[in-house]
Chains A and B, each alone.
Chain A
Amino acid sequence: MRDRLPALVKDAALTALVAAALGLFIVGFKTRDAGQGLFFDYQLVDLAVAVATIFFGRLGLQLASLGLKWPSFALGAALGVIGAAPLELPSTFLHWFVVIAGVLIILRTIWPWANAALATARHSQRGRAFGQRGAKWFGAILLAAAVLMPFTSFADQKTMDLAVLILTYVMLGWGLNIVVGLAGLLDLGYVAFYAVGAYSYALLSTQYGLNFWMVLPLAGMFAAAFGLVLGFPVLRLRGDYLAIVTMGFGEIIRLVLLNWVDLSNGPAGIGGIPGPTLFGAVFAETAPAGKQTFAEMVGIPFTSNQRLIYLYYIILLLALVTNFFTQRVRRLPVGRAWEALREDETACKALGINPTNTKLTAFAVGAMFAGFAGSFFAAKQRFISPESFTFIESAIILSIVVLGGMGSQIGVVLAAVLLIGLPEWFRDLGAYRMIVFGLAMVLIMVFRPRGLIAHREPSVRLHPARAGP
């Protein structure tokens, strides 16, 4: 250890030097508009703390990778404590930065041990049974928490808003999971179907006065039809080619919405979309003529939260329908054919499976759920414009599926909470939150390259007894 120390320090110093050189311009200066012109603010303390953290962080990681558990653990713990200490640092982010560095070192130290322990657990009979029961319980608890959430003390306006947003992405993730996770078709234009659903509801409700529950199935059908129309010519493409074409299709839909002003009102969007009703009752303070509000119907005083809670339950229901459908269809011949197609298309053909039809069903079904989610989105926002359906939406949904672990249902939930929830919760960090977001993604890719939940549960077992305890 002693003879290695100079080399380690040299390596860490070099890393810190690189960080200092890069950070000098990115962190070291900040321009400030002071009325008469731009001035520099120097943030040298930030820079110094960051560089020092990187120095010790690198040292800790190196120690950990050499198997020197205690020194690296101590270093990690020290960084964690320093970061959490009430020092006078220029920004909260620096505290976080130091703490995260400490946590990373500790994680790196215990990683080999934890990994080995997990591997033994996974391969033992009891460990497997425990894992399966655990997954079942975890799902049940998550579901119960989701159902009861609006009645807990957490349920303020902000949290409910965020919960509705996360659930929308969970639903979209589950829908895309059918296309990407099960059928293995890389679809970068998923948002197109979401847009079709949203505009279906927006137009049918504002032009023809149809209500949400009537339009919902129609929107799903329209989106599925679009899926078929798009899928037919492009599904003979494989892999990257398919991804590029679907991406193009997503953009085409957005551009059509932007430019076909007669239909979609162009960039100005469509406003005044009615919210969803419950047996004809509206969620508003005063009902339009001939209708009654939910509060009047039930006989309770009106609060603005009622509408949000109703929306929450609608999206929860829609998401659960998506999930139930996927779980069910996985055990059907068509679901197995989707997975087989993902594994080996040539072999599928040799077994007499029609690859085009099978892919088309996956594409259409995935599109249908995006259509449902889209009409919910329009009903929630009450205003939609092409701006809500940019490529970045497709990218986020795809990230949720990939990070969650392709094909894993619970993984999608975790990834949605992480990807949508984290940036919202860390809003206090300002622009730095995108660094945390990026860091989270990098960490997942490094430590779980096949997604958070990479385990695949067989759709059917010949020996079900072994799955039990």
Chain B
Amino acid sequence: MTDGTTAPLIEVEHLTMRFGGLVAVDDVSFAGRPREITAIIGPNGAGKTTVFNCITGFYKPTVGRLTLRGEPDYLLERMLGHEVGQKAKVARTFQNIRLFPGMTVLENLLVAQHNKLMRASGMSVFGLLGLKRYRAAEAAAIDKARQWLERIGLVADADRPAGELPYGAQRRLEIARAMCTDPRLLCLDEPAAGLNPRESSELNELLVSIRDLDGVGVLLIEHDMSVVMRISDHVVVLDYGRKIAEGAPQAMQNDPAVIRAYLGTAEDDADA
């Protein structure tokens, strides 16, 4: 799929992020395309999550431009934290799962549709009055949630508190919750972390279906190389905050710079 002809969805240009004297991300540029899975890999501390936090509005980049292409284009670095999700339609998951543990699985998916439902409820006024317009919107939201629960196999658990679910199910639910915001770009921070091989291959299927059926562009941080090799269309490799390589997954496997970053060289084998 990486023929390079489709227009990019997200363009990261000269992204630099400094925390005091520490340069976490140093002049990184890459692009992610719609209907593609772009994997960002690299050793621990390479700056992958920092890149994510810049794209999703949690950090303001020190230097650089982050453009989400569309009608209109959004300059993500200029937007407030929540606007990146609300207006530019960028959704994300977290390295350490961040569900709403006390709320039920279904409620988690409804909160994700907050902005749509809020408009339908006329800033709560129609909703308080119990008008039909709001009730129809809520039924549609529940229906959408049900479809996602079917896709991740959690229909039976819909009314359980999300915090009670097993770990793998929580991972899937977090992805479904992000998808319920109708995103154009989905950023997944280590979705396969802590999953067993079976859960991991289920996750692969889910991500491929999100790419092919829902037509969403996916950015993926992942350590599990089997996931990266099997499903990603394009790989960006970071090390010490710099981009050291970029290309198709198979090409990256044999790239000397990547191998050096992961395995270390003879003089430099301390940081694997």
Residues of A in contact with B (beta carbons under 8 Å apart): 325, 328-329, 332-334, 336-337, 339-340, 342-344, 346-355, 361, 456, 458-463, 466
Q: Is B142 a contact of A344 with CB atoms below 8 Å? A: no
Which chain B residues border A466 with CB–CB below 8 Å?
159
Q: Is A353 a contact of B98 with CB atoms below 8 Å? A: no
A-B pairs, 3 with minimum CB distance: A352-B85, A352-B86, A462-B158
Which chain B residues border A348 with CB–CB below 8 Å?
82, 111
Q: Is B181 a contact of A340 with CB atoms below 8 Å? A: no
A325 to B130, CA, bound (A): 12
Task: Tell me which residues from 41 to 99 in chain B have a Cβ below 8 Å from any Cβ of chain A.
Answer: 56-58, 81-87, 89, 91-92, 94, 98-99
Q: Is A353 a contact of B94 with CB atoms below 8 Å? A: no
A345 to B263, CA, bound (A): 38
- CB of B172 within 8 A of chain A? no
Which of B113-121, B224-232, B249-257 contacts its partner? B113-121
> Among the listed A334, A361, A458, which residue makes an inter-chain contact with B104, where contact means beta carbons less than 8 Å apart?
A458
Residues of B in contact with A (beta carbons under 8 Å apart): 56-58, 81-87, 89, 91-92, 94, 98-104, 106-107, 110-115, 117-118, 121, 123-124, 127-128, 134, 138, 142, 145-146, 149, 155, 158-159, 161, 177-178, 181
Q: Is B117 a contact of A350 with CB atoms below 8 Å? A: no
* Contact A337/B106 with A332-B127, A332-B128, A351-B91 known, Cβ cut-off 8 Å: no
Q: Is A460 a contact of B92 with CB atoms below 8 Å? A: no
Which chain B residue lies CB-closest to A456?
B102
A205 to B149, CA, bound (A): 57
Q: Is B100 a contact of A339 with CB atoms below 8 Å? A: yes
A348 to B114, CA, bound (A): 10
Q: Is B159 a contact of A352 with CB atoms below 8 Å? A: no
Q: Is B121 a contact of A333 with CB atoms below 8 Å? A: yes
Q: Is B110 a contact of A460 with CB atoms below 8 Å? A: yes
A331 to B101, CA, bound (A): 18
A78 to B65, CA, bound (A): 79
Q: Is B118 a contact of A334 with CB atoms below 8 Å? A: yes
> Among the listed A339, A343, A350, A460, which residue makes an inter-chain contact with B106, where contact means beta carbons less than 8 Å apart?
A460
Which chain B residues border A351 with CB–CB below 8 Å?
85, 91, 111-112, 114, 177-178, 181
> Among the listed A333, A340, A343, A346, which residue makes an inter-chain contact with B118, where contact means beta carbons less than 8 Å apart?
A333
Which chain A residues border B83 with CB–CB below 8 Å?
352
Q: Is B115 a contact of A352 with CB atoms below 8 Å? A: yes
**Chain A nearest CB, measured from B157 CB (Å):** 9
* Contact A336/B114 with A459-B107, A462-B142 known, Cβ cut-off 8 Å: yes
Q: Is B82 a contact of A343 with CB atoms below 8 Å? A: no
**Chain B nearest CB, measured from A440 CB (Å):** 27
Q: Is B114 a contact of A353 with CB atoms below 8 Å? A: yes
* Contact A353/B91 with A333-B118, A344-B98, A463-B158 known, Cβ cut-off 8 Å: no
Which chain A residues border B110 with CB–CB below 8 Å?
333, 336, 460
* Contact A355/B111 with A329-B128, A334-B118 known, Cβ cut-off 8 Å: no
A459 to B124, CA, bound (A): 15
**Chain A nearest CB, measured from B26 CB (Å):** 25
Which chain A residue lies CB-closest to B83?
A352
Q: Is A355 a contact of B100 with CB atoms below 8 Å? A: no
* Contact A460/B118 with A343-B102, A354-B82 known, Cβ cut-off 8 Å: no
Q: Is B111 a contact of A340 with CB atoms below 8 Å? A: yes
Which chain B residues border A461 with CB–CB below 8 Å?
104, 106, 158-159
Q: Is A336 a contact of B111 with CB atoms below 8 Å? A: yes
A285 to B87, CA, bound (A): 63
Q: Is B115 a contact of A340 with CB atoms below 8 Å? A: no
Q: Is B100 a contact of A347 with CB atoms below 8 Å? A: yes
**Chain A nearest CB, measured from B49 CB (Å):** 13
Given contacts A355-B82, A459-B107, A462-B159, 4 further A-B contacts (CB under 8 A): A343-B101, A344-B100, A346-B98, A351-B85
Which chain A residues border B98 with CB–CB below 8 Å?
344, 346-347, 350
**Chain A nearest CB, measured from B169 CB (Å):** 15
Q: Is A349 a contact of B85 with CB atoms below 8 Å? A: yes
Which chain B residue lies CB-closest to A407?
B102
A461 to B100, CA, bound (A): 16
Which chain A residue lies CB-closest to B97?
A347
**Chain B nearest CB, measured from A358 CB (Å):** 9
* Contact A334/B102 with A349-B58, A351-B114 known, Cβ cut-off 8 Å: no
A-B contact pairs, 12 of them (CB 8 A): A332-B128, A334-B121, A336-B110, A339-B102, A340-B111, A343-B102, A348-B82, A351-B111, A355-B82, A459-B107, A461-B106, A461-B158
Q: Is B117 a contact of A333 with CB atoms below 8 Å? A: yes
Q: Is A332 a contact of B159 with CB atoms below 8 Å? A: no
Which chain A residues border B84 with CB–CB below 8 Å?
352
A336 to B145, CA, bound (A): 15
**Chain B nearest CB, measured from A261 CB (Å):** 40
* Contact A332/B158 with A343-B102, A350-B91, A351-B114 known, Cβ cut-off 8 Å: no
Q: Is A462 a contact of B146 with CB atoms below 8 Å? A: yes
Q: Is A336 a contact of B107 with CB atoms below 8 Å? A: yes
> Which of B83, B112, B121 is packed against the most chain A CB atoms within 10 Å?
B112
Which chain A residues border B178 with CB–CB below 8 Å?
350-351
Which chain B residues border A339 with CB–CB below 8 Å?
100, 102-103, 107
Which chain B residues border A462 with CB–CB below 8 Å?
106, 142, 145-146, 149, 155, 158-159
Q: Is A350 a contact of B124 with CB atoms below 8 Å? A: no
A463 to B155, CA, bound (A): 9
Which chain A residues border B158 with CB–CB below 8 Å?
461-463
A351 to B81, CA, bound (A): 10
Which chain B residues border A344 with CB–CB below 8 Å?
98-101
Which chain A residue lies CB-closest to B104?
A458
**Chain B nearest CB, measured from A465 CB (Å):** 11
Which chain A residues border B177 with CB–CB below 8 Å?
351
Q: Is A350 a contact of B115 with CB atoms below 8 Å? A: no
> Which of B87, B111, B159 is packed against the most chain A CB atoms within 10 Å?
B111
Which chain B residues border A463 with CB–CB below 8 Å?
158-159
Which chain A residues border B161 with CB–CB below 8 Å?
456
Q: Is B112 a contact of A458 with CB atoms below 8 Å? A: no
A332 to B142, CA, bound (A): 13
> Which of A325, A339, A349, A462 is packed against the most chain B CB atoms within 10 Å?
A462
Which chain B residue lies CB-closest to A357?
B82
Q: Is A352 a contact of B101 with CB atoms below 8 Å? A: no
Which chain A residues border B106 with CB–CB below 8 Å?
458, 460-462
